[in-house]
Structure 1
Amino acid sequence: MAAEERMPLVEKRGNICRSPIAEAVFKKMATDGGVVDQWRIDSAATSTYEIGNPPDHRGQACMKRHGVPMRHVARQVTKEDFMSFEHILCMDESNLSDLKRKAKSVKDYTAKIELLGSYDPQKQLIIQDPYYGSDEDFEKVYEQCVRCCKAFLEKTS
């Protein structure tokens, strides 16, 4: 498989909380593992709510506490994403439903759409949106993303 074909996309509705955390975590893991050049890693939203905005300040603070670099500007999932990414990983059932519906409008799409939580060794399938929560909720998202991204990277490498 060519390197440019191995591309996860982690997405969420507003693209400022969970998905940028997962994107940053996966980039750090891939970088630390010496395989980042084999991946195109990005995140996007199913909605237009936060397009152009940076990640939530609480998520940025959480990443800083863990030494995980985070650079992201919110964007919306495009039809091209369903053709150019091998994997599209999402955070909850609502995102999964939205993505599968959007994918149906793309002829012969190739992306495998699934929940990031399906890789969680602790079997926490859903990664809850921390937006209305506390710093502790962002920490929980970080911990889930670490577990899931590690398992995903191990399975796909």
Structure 2
Amino acid sequence: MVQKILMICLGNICRSPIAEVVMVDTLQKAKVQNVVVDSAAIGSWHVGNRADPRALSTLKQHGLESKHIVRQITKKDFNDFDYIFGMDENNMSELRRLAPPNSKAELLMLGDFGLEKSNRIIEDPYYQSGAAGFETAYQQCVVACEAFMKERLQK
């Protein structure tokens, strides 16, 4: 059985594409198969674009790359995916609002896995100058994706 994971952030150019690539890398390293990972935006501002250059640069510094093209979450996603992850409380609130009744997807905050309660919000680095916020988001994703994989996907 294939399981499907969808990473969500506001614009799908910073946190969720990083989380998508990190989750894929985490699963590959652990040889976990039959899991599909994607990412999407809550808003439509960047649809059709690539991830923020700072996000791509951060991934590249860790030997990873993203070819993802921004898309917006759809009602269909709530039944196609098993897990939909938000990065912060605003994402989670919006996901709960958008979810159709009786949708299949479990809505989770990525930072609830493996991160301290005080550090569980993966902050949006978009408005920060420089790469530090992107590196912080990357490191949080590494910890959270591994913790989620060990808790929910490894048998």
User: TM-score of the superposition, structure 2-length normalised?
Assistant: 0.93
User: Among 5, 8, 20, which residue is 1:8 paired with?
Assistant: 5
8 Å contact 2:115–2:140 — kept in the other structure?
Answer: no
CA shift, 1:33, in A, is 1.6
5+ residue gaps, structure 2, are none
Q: Which amino acid aligns with 2:93?
A: S
> In the alignment, does 2:123 pair up with 1:128?
yes
Partner of 2:20: 23
How far 1:7 moved relative to its partner?
1.2
Counterpart of 1:38? 34
2:58 pairs with 1:69? no
Q: Percent identity of the aligned residues?
A: 40
Q: Within the alignment, does 1:109 sit opposite 2:103 as a pair?
A: yes
Deviation at 1:15, TM superposition (A): 0.2
Q: Bigger shift: 90-99 or 115-124?
A: 115-124
Please state how far the C-alpha of 1:69 moved relative to its aligned partner: 2.4
Aligned length: 151
Provide the rounded CA distance (Å) in 2 between the counterparts of 1:150 and 1:29. Answer: 6
Aligned letter for 1:118?
D
Equivalent pair of 1:28/1:69 in contact (CA under 8 Å): no
Runs of 4+ in 1 over 4 A off after TM superposition: none
Cα distance, 1:68 vs structure 2: 1.5
**1:107 positional shift:** 3.7
State the 1:23 CA deviation. Answer: 0.3
How far the C-alpha of 1:90 sits from its partner, in A, is 0.6
Of 91, 94, 102, which residue of structure 1 is paired with 2:90?
94
Q: Residue 43 and residue 93 in structure 1: after superposition, are their counterparts in 2 closer, same or farther (change >3 A)?
A: same
**Equivalent AA in structure 1 for residue 116 of structure 2:** Q
Deviation of 1:122 (Å): 2.9
For structure 1, which runs of at least 5 residues remain unmatched after alignment?
none
Partner of 1:94: helix, strand, or coil? Answer: helix
C-alpha deviation, 1:120, in angstroms: 2.8
**Superimposed CA distance per residue, residues 84-133 of structure 1 (whole angstroms, 9 cap, x where no aligned partner):** 11100110111101110000xx2420100011011033332210000011
